[in-house]
């Protein structure tokens, strides 16, 4: 995936991108106005001829014309500056495309087949052997992306569910924050592990979502804002909610992390975080652990037989982190599903914490492949305490494997799922604060993937 920042709209809400209007954008003569004329130089809260609290008349019921779009974007830039207390250094082009155009032409979020990713999503019981990870991700992104900012192009693309060019003010504000981040801080190269990517996105998306929320609070209180359009046709296509939750995690938990930083030290504390990017989802979920508590080492020694080997790629391990553990337990109903809806913060949409995942300390997933083309993996998970490890171990064995996946227990450590997309053999060992899961196509192959130590 490219280093693009996207505004993901929950498909289950059928939120679309339709805004009303087509008259010329002019100042409302009835509005009370106390600001001076255009300043001689740029300043926070003024962009391209518009102050942040200046009224504009934009009726978009039949789409936006070019003049309206320019006014709408300029005033939104001024408002984002005012809320975020940062200055845009240059204008940000905005293009509006239809959902059909996005699906047919945009390749920003196009996933390609990747056997490495297949093992990641299979290990977390999100996508089994009967589906392609690329197909699931492409189906999800095809219907859930509302807009995105691409650093390489320095422009925003808004995806409209209408054939006419219409924009949701929330999506526009969100993506403008990403453009502001790029101009002020830049973006990092893609992180190596799934956990680190969620952490990185937790800051960037959290900042955008938090600023967007403050923007909306002003719309509710004292700003004259362009109305949010009625919902149009949804994104369609198939939708895997479990996979969606792994992608949406930074959008849900990131705003609370940024709000905690803001409360801790104002916008300066948020700005400083771009020089000290969070490293784990745990730091996003639990801001008190940022920046001092990093991941515990969970190295996996290679104990495979000659016919099995780690994947031949630059990075042969990944860290999934607390987010994937929670979603795995939630999606397999190994924890109370209602816990997801019990968001604990003002700015979070979901709750991604449970007793069975919150004690995470570190983990390493190592996919393996045999000479005959079979797959397996070793997943070592370190926990903060032995009690945390025991709690996860019990839920994984009894609830996830045996109750939800109907696994047959072969001995005290070995389980077999006989049928279905996750049919495989599993060896689960808990030793102190570590839980080690070995997966192979058969019981006999478990020791070939990773011999018992």
Q: Are 68 and 50 in contact (CB under 8 A)?
A: no
Instruction: Report how many domains make up the chain.
Output: 2
Mark whether 385 and 320 lie in a shared domain.
Answer: yes
Confidence of residue 314 (pLDDT cuts 50, 70, 90): low
Mark whether 175 and 311 lie in a shared domain.
Answer: no
pLDDT tens profile 114-126: 888 999 999 999 9
Task: Scan for tokens 């940000």, then name that residue.
Answer: 92
Mark whether 344 and 222 lie in a shared domain.
Answer: no
Mark whether 199 and 327 lie in a shared domain.
Answer: no
In a domain, 98, yes or no: yes
Lowest mean pLDDT among 224-238, 340-354, 355-369: 224-238
Mark whether 33 and 155 lie in a shared domain.
Answer: yes
In a domain, 407, yes or no: yes
DSSP code for 345 = S
Supply the pLDDT for residue 7.
56
Tokens of 50: 């518009």
Mark whether 14 and 122 lie in a shared domain.
Answer: yes
Confidence of residue 175 (pLDDT cuts 50, 70, 90): very high
Mark whether 197 and 95 lie in a shared domain.
Answer: yes
Mark whether 159 and 27 lie in a shared domain.
Answer: yes
Question: Facing residues of 145 across strands?
Answer: 8
In a domain, 327, yes or no: yes
In a domain, 58, yes or no: yes
Backbone angles phi, psi at 6, to 5 degrees: -120, 150
Tokens of 172: 């526009």
Supply the pLDDT for residue 159.
87
Number of other CB atoms surrounding residue 323 within 10 Å: 32
Of 205, 223, 241, the last residue of a domain is: 241
Of 241, 269, 304, the last residue of a domain is: 241
Backbone angles phi, psi at 365, to 5 degrees: -110, 125
pLDDT tens profile 178-213: 999 999 999 988 888 999 999 999 999 999 999 999
In a domain, 215, yes or no: yes
Backbone φ/ψ region at 321: left (φ over 0), alpha (ψ -120 to 50), beta: left
Nearest to 53 by CA among 29, 82, 14: 82
Mark whether 236 and 321 lie in a shared domain.
Answer: no
Supply the pLDDT for residue 114.
87
pLDDT tens profile 247-268: 999 999 999 999 999 999 999 9
pTM: 0.90
Question: What average pLDDT does the structure give for the chain?
Answer: 88
Distance CA 46, CA 50 (A): 6
In a domain, 272, yes or no: no
Confidence of residue 24 (pLDDT cuts 50, 70, 90): very low
Enclosing H/E stretch for 215: helix 194-221
Mark whether 86 and 223 lie in a shared domain.
Answer: yes
Backbone angles phi, psi at 322, to 5 degrees: -65, -35
Mark whether 237 and 352 lie in a shared domain.
Answer: no
- Per the structure, the complete domain to which residue 178 belongs is given by 5-241
Report the first-to-last Cα separation within the chain, whole angstroms.
37
Strand order in the sheet with 360-370: 308-310, 360-370, 375-383, 434-440, 424-431, 414-417, 408-409
Mark whether 335 and 198 lie in a shared domain.
Answer: no
Question: Facing residues of 383 across strands?
Answer: 360
pLDDT tens profile 137-174: 988 887 778 899 988 888 999 988 777 788 999 999 99
In a domain, 278, yes or no: no
In a domain, 264, yes or no: no
Cα Dmax for the chain: 80
Q: Is the pLDDT of residue 318 over 80?
A: yes
């Amino acid at each position: 995936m490219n280093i693009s920042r996207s505004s993901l709209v929950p498909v289950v809400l059928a939120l679309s991108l339709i805004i009303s209007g087509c008259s010329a954008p002019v100042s409302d003569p009835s509005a009370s106005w106390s600001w001076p004329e255009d300043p001689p130089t740029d300043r926070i809260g003024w962009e391209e001829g518009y102050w942040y609290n200046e009224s504009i008349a934009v009726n978009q019921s039949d789409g936006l014309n070019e003049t309206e779009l320019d006014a709408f974007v300029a005033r939104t830039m001024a408002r984002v500056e005012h809320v975020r207390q940062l200055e845009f250094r240059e204008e940000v082009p905005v293009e509006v495309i239809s959902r059909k155009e996005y699906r047919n032409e945009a390749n920003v979020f196009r996933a390609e087949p990747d056997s490495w990713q297949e093992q990641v999503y299979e290990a977390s019981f999100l996508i089994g052997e009967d589906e392609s990870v690329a197909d699931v991700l492409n189906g999800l992104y095809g219907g859930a992306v509302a807009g995105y900012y691409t650093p390489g192009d320095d422009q925003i693309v808004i995806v409209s569910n209408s054939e006419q060019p219409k924009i949701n003010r929330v999506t526009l504000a969100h993506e403008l924050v990403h453009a502001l981040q790029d101009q002020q801080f830049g973006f990092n190269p893609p992180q190596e592990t799934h956990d680190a990517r969620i952490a990185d996105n937790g800051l960037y998306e959290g900042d955008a979502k938090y600023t967007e929320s403050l923007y909306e609070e002003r719309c509710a209180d004292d700003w004259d804002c362009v109305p949010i359009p009625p919902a149009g046709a949804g994104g369609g296509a198939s939708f895997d909610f479990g996979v969606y939750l792994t992608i949406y995690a930074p959008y849900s938990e990131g705003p609370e992390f940024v709000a905690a930083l803001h409360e801790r030290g104002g916008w300066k504390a948020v700005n400083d975080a771009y020089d000290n990017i969070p490293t784990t989802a745990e730091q996003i979920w639990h801001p008190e652990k940022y920046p001092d508590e990093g991941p515990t080492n969970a190295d996996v020694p290679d104990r495979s037989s000659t016919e099995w080997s780690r994947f031949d790629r630059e990075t042969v391990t990944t860290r999934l982190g607390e987010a994937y553990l929670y979603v795995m337990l939630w999606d397999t109903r190994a924890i109370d599903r209602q816990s997801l809806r019990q968001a604990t913060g003002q700015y979070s949409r979901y709750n991604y914490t449970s007793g069975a995942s919150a004690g995470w300390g570190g983990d390493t997933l190592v996919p393996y492949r045999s000479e005959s083309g079979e797959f397996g993996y070793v997943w070592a998970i370190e926990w903060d305490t032995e009690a945390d490890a025991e709690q996860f171990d019990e839920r994984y064995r009894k609830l996830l494997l045996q109750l939800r996946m109907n696994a047959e227990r072969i001995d005290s450590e070995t389980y077999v799922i006989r049928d279905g997309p996750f049919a495989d053999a599993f060896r689960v060992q808990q030793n102190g604060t570590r839980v080690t899961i070995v997966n192979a196509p058969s019981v006999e192959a478990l020791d070939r993937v990773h011999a018992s130590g």
